[in-house]
């Protein structure tokens, strides 16, 4: 009787491994007592005890919010509509704050009597954070998870906004640059979180359109913030000839006039603190994601993958071109042979540039469901080059509005290049996001080069450099038009 019970117990055990090879199971029938331990040992050795998809989902439900979810479960996507709304809000905030650089650039240019090349150091200080902070930010995500890292990033952004207070009090351009760097460090960390997170929050097959849709909220922020900022910041510029002021009077003037910038960023600091508090309350909403024990610098090894390396280069060029054009818009539209507008009026047209990107992203989210994600960025890159040629070789309204229309062409470039580059990375997607965010340092390098070209020749000639950037992006779209192979 006992032998019968043991035999039944053994067969029940064996039935739990129905996915094993038939010849292995047949061996149980002939010599169960002799082979039971050897087979189970081989099962463990060969890692044959892999959970089914239903087991993974059960494990996900039972795992506490601070544990790591298996990579297979993350690869299937997470259905969390409330978190998608949160990520959309993050895109809105960091997009809007970044676009305010286009407004404070003409303000600081006048306050500190800078050239085009010198004032572009605003963008250099801001986007240098992407180069220095992206990889450490990816390490923070691995250590603390998406939600807690987002809270840390928002607090860092708040600190950057508050640093505008001592920068204004000192009337020193270098301190403004430092405040912008700290602010950008927080934004970089937010972006390292947001890009892979929005791809995770839904089916992998719709990741292209979902990230494009999220980027539309980024563009909504870049559309609204410059308009309000131009009224609050540029609208306060007085008609004073600073060349006639003494050193002490000039210092006092700079401190006083920069206070309008401070008030704007103090308001942002309050909003960021509120969002950080909400995120912290929900910090355990998501698990940490797939753990990776390799050195964080190992992520740069992804650049040896031709598709990813080419995509990272295009992110560098795209951000550089977009930021360079956005930074020059106010001064470009003020030219007498373009629109001849005063500074504030030219500033209120900047939202048309970013608004075009917003409209294009909402529309592009649907287009990318129908057309090849590679062909679409190639087509819009051609459109951007065409508009640059029109703007640089025409006068009046045609020249001005052709430049503004480039925003529409920019619309789907970043999200599409990002997803095309990271396609097939699997559980190394978070590392890829960190490297991609390092590539955003293009915004620190290409705008100053464009500014120096403007100082050497003129603003029209300076558009040549962004045009070359779009030419390379066109080539990447053609190259990446076919789906990528998954990494081994």
Output the tens digit of pLDDT for each of the chain's 488 residues.
545 554 444 444 444 444 444 444 444 444 444 444 444 444 344 444 344 443 333 333 333 333 333 344 445 556 666 677 888 888 888 888 988 888 888 888 878 888 888 888 998 999 898 888 887 887 888 788 888 888 999 999 999 999 999 988 888 889 999 999 999 999 989 888 887 777 777 666 666 667 777 777 887 888 888 888 888 887 655 566 666 666 677 777 777 777 888 888 999 999 999 988 888 887 776 655 544 555 656 777 878 888 888 999 999 999 999 999 999 999 999 999 999 998 888 888 988 898 887 788 778 777 777 777 778 889 999 999 999 999 999 999 999 999 999 999 998 888 888 888 877 776 676 677 778 878 888 999 999 999 999 999 899 999 999 999 999 999 998 888 776 565 54
CATH of 83-479 given 2.40.30.10, 2.60.40.4070, 1.20.1250.20, 1.10.3720.10: 1.20.1250.20
Numbered ranges of CATH 1.20.1250.20 in the chain: 83-479
CA-based Rg of the chain, rounded to a whole angstrom?
27
d(C-alpha 378, C-alpha 470), whole Å: 9
Other CB atoms within a 10 A radius of the CB of residue 13 amount to 13
Give rounded-to-5 percent helix, strand, coil for the chain: 80, 0, 20
The span from the CA of 3 to the CA of 171, in Å, is 91
User: What span, in angstroms and rounded, lies between the C-alpha atoms of 114 and 264?
Assistant: 22
The Cα 95–Cα 384 span in angstroms is: 21
Distance, CA of 62 to CA of 56 (rounded, Å)? 10
Would you say 255 and 172 are in contact if contact means Cβ atoms under 8 Å apart?
Answer: no
Has this prediction a pTM greater than 0.85?
Answer: no
Q: What is the pLDDT of residue 218?
A: 80
Phi then psi dihedrals of residue 295, to 5 deg: -60, 140
Q: Which two tokens stand for residue 34?
A: 């002799």
Give Cβ neighbours of residue 454 (< 8 Å, ≥ 6 apart): 116, 117, 328, 461, 462
Q: How far is CA 240 from CA 25, 237, 250, 261, in A?
A: 91, 9, 11, 18
214 secondary structure, DSSP code: H
pLDDT at residue 465 in the model:
96
DSSP-assigned letters across all residues of 162-207: HTHHHHHHHT-HHHHHHHHHHHHHHHHHHHHHHHHHHHHSS-GGGH
DSSP string, 76-95: T----HHHHHHHHHHHHHHH
Say how far apart CA 233 and CA 410 lie, in whole Å. 26
Tokens 């559309």 correspond to 223
């Amino acid at each position: 009787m006992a032998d019968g019970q043991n035999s039944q117990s053994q067969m029940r055990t064996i039935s739990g491994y129905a996915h094993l090879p038939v010849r292995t199971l047949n061996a149980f029938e002939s010599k169960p007592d002799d082979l039971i331990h050897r087979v189970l040992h081989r099962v463990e050795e060969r890692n044959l005890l892999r959970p089914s998809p239903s087991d993974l989902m059960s494990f996900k439900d039972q795992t506490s919010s601070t544990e790591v979810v298996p990579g297979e479960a993350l690869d299937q996507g997470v259905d969390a509509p409330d978190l998608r709304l949160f990520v959309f809000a993050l895109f809105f905030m960091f997009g809007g704050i970044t676009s305010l650089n286009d407004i404070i650039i003409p303000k600081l240019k006048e306050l500190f009597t800078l050239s085009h090349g010198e004032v572009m150091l605003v963008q250099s200080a801001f986007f240098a954070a992407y180069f220095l902070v992206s990889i450490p930010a990816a390490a923070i995500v691995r250590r603390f998870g998406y939600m807690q890292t987002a809270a840390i990033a928002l607090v860092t952004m708040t600190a950057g906004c508050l640093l505008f207070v001592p920068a204004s009090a000192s009337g020193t351009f270098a301190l403004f640059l430092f405040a912008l760097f700290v602010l950008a460090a927080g934004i970089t960390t937010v972006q390292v979180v947001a890009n892979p997170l929005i791809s995770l929050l839904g089916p992998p097959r719709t990741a292209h359109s979902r990230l494009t849709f999220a980027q539309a909220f980024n563009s909504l922020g870049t559309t609204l913030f410059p308009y309000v900022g131009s009224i609050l910041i540029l609208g306060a510029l007085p008609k004073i000839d600073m060349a006639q002021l003494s050193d002490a009077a000039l210092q006092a003037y700079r401190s006083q006039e920069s206070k309008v910038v401070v008030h704007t960023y103090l308001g942002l600091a309050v909003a960021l603190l509120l969002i950080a508090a909400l995120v912290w309350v929900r910090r355990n909403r998501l698990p940490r994601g797939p753990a990776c024990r390799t050195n964080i610098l190992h992520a740069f090894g992804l650049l040896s993958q031709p598709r990813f390396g080419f995509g990272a280069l295009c992110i560098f060029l795209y951000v550089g071109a977009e930021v360079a054009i956005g930074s020059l818009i106010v001064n470009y539209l003020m030219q007498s042979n373009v629109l001849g507008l005063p500074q504030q009026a030219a500033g209120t047209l900047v939202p048309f540039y970013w608004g075009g990107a917003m409209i294009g992203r909402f529309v592009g989210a649907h287009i990318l469901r129908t057309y090849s994600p590679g062909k679409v960025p190639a087509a819009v890159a051609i459109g951007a080059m065409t508009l640059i040629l029109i703007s640089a070789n025409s006068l009046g309204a045609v020249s001005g509005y052709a430049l503004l229309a480039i925003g529409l062409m920019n619309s789907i470039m970043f999200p599409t290049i990002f997803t095309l580059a990271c396609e097939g990375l699997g559980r190394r997607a978070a590392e890829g996001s960190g490297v991609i965010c390092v590539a955003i340092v293009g915004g620190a390098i290409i705008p100053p080069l464009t500014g120096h070209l403007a100082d050497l020749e003129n603003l029209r000639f300076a558009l040549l450099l962004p045009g070359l950037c779009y030419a390379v992006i066109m080539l990447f779209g053609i190259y990446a038009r076919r789906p990528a192979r998954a990494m081994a």
